[in-house]
Amino acid sequence: MRRGEGTILSIGKRIRERRKLLNLTQEDLAKKCGFASSQIVSQLEKGERDIKAWELARIADLLKVDFQYFFQRENPLRLSPILWRKEPGQDVKQKEAEFIQVCERYYQVEKLCGEEPECKLPRRQIDWAKFNFPEAYSLANEISRFLDLGSRPSSSLTEVLEKRFGVKIIYQDLGKSGSAASTWGYFGPAILMNSREAPWRRNFNFAHELFHLITWSDDLNDIKFSNEPLFRRIEQLAEYFASVLLLPAEAIELELNKMTKKLTYMDVVNIARDFDVSTSALLWRLVSLGHITRESAEKALDDEYFKQLDKSTMSEKWWHYPYSLPERFVRLAFQAYQKGNLSRMLLAEYLNTSLIDLEETLAEYGLKEEEEAVYETPIDIA
């Protein structure tokens, strides 16, 4: 690819900056790209070697940027600050970059389809030195009413956040150690969720991250690393908020009032499954509501019989998010393509597939390439 010496140097500089941002060495990038040695990456970054189009496309894919990133006149946007609940064990920066890239592309196809959502998610400026648990309790109840989540919030939370309030929900395989993260960028609020976790764990993670989005400030990561005691307290407040949001006191009271005998292990498991939360979350909520003692909760959680009983009910409820990209994002990208606003090549790139495999990838989402007229056929309205 020949675009003049200045352009080659500029591309090399962008490659180096992005590589370092993702904590990749030249050797890492060379290996992932299939280059013979890291010397090739060094030469590309210094502008000492012409770069082939396929090489740049491969590098762009690995660095989680679009092709035009290397030719922008203005300085490319840095990664939006991402707040992790629990980081994956490795490749954190690369997973963050992938998360942000999908959010940016999601935002782009929304604009192309004229469906850019107006984010109506409320925001709160918080003085963390003063914010306390009663205030977190009030905030959870306020948000539950505002989102109109009903008596079983877990069943509707993700759909409400994504479809009514413009929160971008992205799933990734974050391994056994990762859980969830959140960010707020020019594309709006977004949540990254580990697709490996059970539904009741994800539900709690979503509520936890919702707290961070509502109280978002870009200095949360600074607090995390500079004031560990304060950040631990913020996380405790987020946990409490999630508990109150997903387990409304009135709904719990109604369930307990149905019982004629003392609360049993089976009752706890059944109620937890009904509310789609973990038994641990339910037990600690019962403690906060004064229905059981802390000692009783700890005894149950340490009891092997209770653990086995809990585990025996999980298999039929286990659900792994079946797609690698959000369904709404894929459908909007496909719609933009059908309208002629997105090329077939870009559609394949956005869906992380090749032109050859594009038809098969679309079929996985129930989509099929047809003549535009089929999708645009008008329906007479009475």
274 and 234 fall within a common domain: no
**Helix (H), strand (E) at residue 82:** strand 82-84
> Is residue 238, in this structure, part of any structural domain at all?
yes
235 and 253 fall within a common domain: no
Beta bridge partners of 172: 194
63 and 156 fall within a common domain: no
Token pair, residue 338, equals: 């059908």
Number of independent structural domains in the chain: 4
pLDDT tens-digit profile, the chain (382 residues): 544 445 666 888 888 888 888 888 888 888 888 888 888 888 888 888 888 888 888 888 888 888 778 877 666 556 678 999 989 888 888 899 999 999 999 999 999 998 877 768 889 999 999 999 999 999 999 999 999 999 999 999 999 998 888 899 999 999 888 999 999 988 999 999 998 888 888 999 999 999 999 999 888 888 988 999 999 999 999 999 999 999 999 999 999 988 877 889 999 999 999 999 999 999 999 999 999 999 999 999 999 999 999 888 776 666 677 778 999 999 999 999 998 999 998 999 899 888 999 999 999 999 987 644 455 566 666 5
Decide: 73 and 79 in contact? Cβ < 8 Å: no
Model pLDDT, residue 7: 63
Phi-psi region of 4 (alpha: psi -120 to 50; beta: other; left: phi over 0): left
> Is residue 322, in this structure, part of any structural domain at all?
no
Model pLDDT, residue 75: 62
Task: Identify the domain containing residue 278 by its residue range.
Answer: 249-317
> Is residue 91, in this structure, part of any structural domain at all?
yes
Q: What is the pTM of this model?
A: 0.85
CA 34/CA 13 separation, integer angstroms: 20
Residue with tokens 């109840």: 141
> Is residue 29, in this structure, part of any structural domain at all?
yes
Q: Which of 246, 272, 306 marks a domain boundary?
A: 246
> Is residue 295, in this structure, part of any structural domain at all?
yes
88 and 72 fall within a common domain: no
118 and 188 fall within a common domain: yes
Model pLDDT, residue 126: 93
125 and 255 fall within a common domain: no
69 and 182 fall within a common domain: no
Q: Which of 216, 246, 276 marks a domain boundary?
A: 246
298 and 193 fall within a common domain: no
User: In this structure, what CATH number is given to the domain that contains residue 91?
Assistant: 1.10.10.2910
Coil vs helix vs strand at 224: helix
275 and 238 fall within a common domain: no
> Is residue 63, in this structure, part of any structural domain at all?
yes
CA 134/CA 288 separation, integer angstroms: 12
Model pLDDT, residue 269: 93
Model pLDDT, residue 373: 47
> Is residue 380, in this structure, part of any structural domain at all?
no
Closest by CA to 172, choosing from 220, 221, 102, is: 102
292 and 172 fall within a common domain: no
157 and 220 fall within a common domain: yes
Decide: 161 and 210 in contact? Cβ < 8 Å: yes
Decide: 273 and 313 in contact? Cβ < 8 Å: yes
Using CB atoms within 10 Å of the CB of residue 267, give its burial: 0 to 12 exposed, 13 to 18 middle, 19+ buried. middle
Q: Which of 47, 76, 105 marks a domain boundary?
A: 76
23 and 107 fall within a common domain: no
Token pair, residue 187, equals: 């594309």
Any idea of the CA torsion for 141, 146, 147, 151, to the nearest 10 degrees? Answer: 40
